[in-house]
Amino acid sequence: MSPERRVRAAVLIDQRTPLVVEDVLLDAPRAGEVEVRIAAAGVCHSDVHLADGNLGRDRWPAVLGHEGAGVVEAVGAGVDGVRAGQRVAFCFVAPCGRCRACTRGRAHLCEVSEAHSLAGTLLDGSSRLRRAGGGALKHFLFVSCFAERCVVPQECVVGLPDELPLWQAALLGCSVVTGVGAVRNAARVASGDSVCVVGCGGVGLQVLAGARLAGAAPIVAVDRDAATLERARAHGATHTVDSSREDAVAAVLGLADGGVDHAFEAVGRPETIRLAWDVLRPGATAIVVGATPRGVDVALPALELLSEKGLKGCFYGSADPRGQLPELARLVASGRLDLTRAITHVTDLEGIEEGFGRLRRGEGARTVAVIDAALAGAP
């Protein structure tokens, strides 16, 4: 195997600058690593947050992209359970199995994985990516799938059923695990529970789908965009509230008999987190799924804590992604979880920057960048 290959990638040179599509050098996988030929990648708000400098300093230049699917091309020494030719989706946590979080059943909060992820390296503390003219590139959340190929830890790939098209499977490892996982793991929504979802973009739609699968009722979707609310109904919302036209809190309280059992915030703004809090019944909890930029604070009425209302963060669906992703893939393959209606735009590497613009403007839901049309299937 050649020690490196030249691949096309969308590169973030510096914060708040447009992505540049160029040739980069990708080193071959080392021990415990896997090289994947990428079929398709989802364009997520977390990518935009990093590009805009909201997730910390010194995280660029980098190849972004953390939600995607493809086919394994090569494996490094010692890789077990992954083979060349296997169809896979990515998950962006590589749990060590030994830290405090891992040994307590919270592998998604692995301390070792977090440290390397923030540093933009793989698990040995180095990068497999370099600009063709010289200079290391950082990985984003281990994956960096805004490229023709990537090298990731073996813990970051999960096998897929053959009947699932890869352009749909690209959404599994972030928006689906995050949204459905929040319902199942963070909130533990039961049949008949009332649910409100504030913000119905790519992740919010999957929260709605998870609530529908759990048998929740009513399921109230809150957003400011009419087209988004139509998509919300298609994903399981029984009622919709346009917060640009009416008092959203009053509307939700009226629909849910004075408050919901579970509220999910999928925007990442102080005002929407407060909205999720305000629609709770006593004793209920709001789950914050949206990523809030560094340095942003949220104010809540402390007196209402006496009613035992709660506010809880949720990272990556509070899930064991490697354990839960195969079941989610089967739900999509069987038709019980439809991802096609969550994809509003299809593009290529050059169109990812335009997808970033849509996310910044709050337009559409998920953009999928088809990197290899033959592998991805026809969207």
Show the domains of the chain with their CATH numbers: 4-171+339-376 (3.90.180.10), 180-315 (3.40.50.720)
Q: What angle do CA 92, 94, 98 make, to 5 degrees?
A: 150
For residue 295, the model assigns a pLDDT of: 87
Six-digit token string for 147: 């490229």
**For residues 222 and 295, is the Cβ–Cβ distance under 8 A?**
no
For residue 2, the model assigns a pLDDT of: 57
Radius of gyration of the chain (CA): 20
Q: What secondary structure letter does DSSP report for 121? A: -
**Which stretches of the chain are assigned E, i.e. beta strand?**
4-12, 20-27, 33-43, 62-63, 67-75, 87-90, 129-131, 136-139, 149-153, 157-159, 195-198, 219-223, 239-242, 260-265, 280-288, 310-313, 343-347, 366-370
3-class secondary-structure state, position 331:
helix
Q: Which residues contact 109 (CB under 8 A, 6 or more apart)?
A: 101, 315
**For residues 51 and 61, is the Cβ–Cβ distance under 8 A?**
no
List pLDDT tens digits, range 350-375.
Answer: 999 999 999 999 888 899 999 999 99
Phi, psi at 127, each rounded to 5°: -110, 150
Range 108-117 contact pairs with CB under 8 angstroms and sequence separation of 24 or more: 108/315, 108/316, 108/317, 108/318, 108/319, 108/320, 108/321, 109/315, 113/142, 116/142, 117/92, 117/93, 117/141, 117/142
Distance (Å, whole) CA 52 – CA 47: 9
Distance (Å, whole) CA 259 – CA 16: 40
Distance (Å, whole) CA 86 – CA 71: 6
Q: What angle do CA 151, 290, 139 make, to 5 degrees?
A: 20
List pLDDT tens digits, range 242-257.
Answer: 999 999 999 999 999 8
Report the phi/psi class of residue 310: left, alpha or beta, with left for phi > 0 and alpha for psi in -120 to 50. beta
Q: What tens-digit pLDDT sequence spans the chain (379 residues)? A: 557 899 999 999 999 999 999 999 999 999 999 999 999 999 999 999 999 999 988 899 999 999 999 999 999 999 999 999 999 999 999 999 999 999 999 999 999 999 999 999 999 999 999 999 888 999 999 999 999 999 999 999 999 999 999 999 999 999 999 999 999 999 999 999 999 999 999 999 999 999 999 999 999 999 999 999 999 999 999 999 999 999 999 999 999 988 999 999 999 999 999 999 999 999 999 999 999 888 899 999 999 999 999 999 999 999 888 889 999 999 999 999 999 999 999 999 999 999 999 999 988 889 999 999 999 997 7
The DSSP secondary structure of 73-111, one letter per residue, reads: EEE-TT--S--TT-EEEE-S----SSSHHHHTT-GGG-H
State whether the Cα torsion 68-167-13-25 is positive or negative.
positive
The CA dihedral of 191, 196, 198, 199, to the nearest 10 degrees, is 40
**For residues 196 and 356, is the Cβ–Cβ distance under 8 A?**
no
For residue 4, count CB atoms less than 10 angstroms from its CB and return exposed for 0-12, middle for 13-18, buried for 19 or more: middle
Q: What angle do CA 261, 266, 270 make, to 5 degrees?
A: 95
Q: Which residues contact 301 (CB under 8 A, 6 or more apart)?
A: none
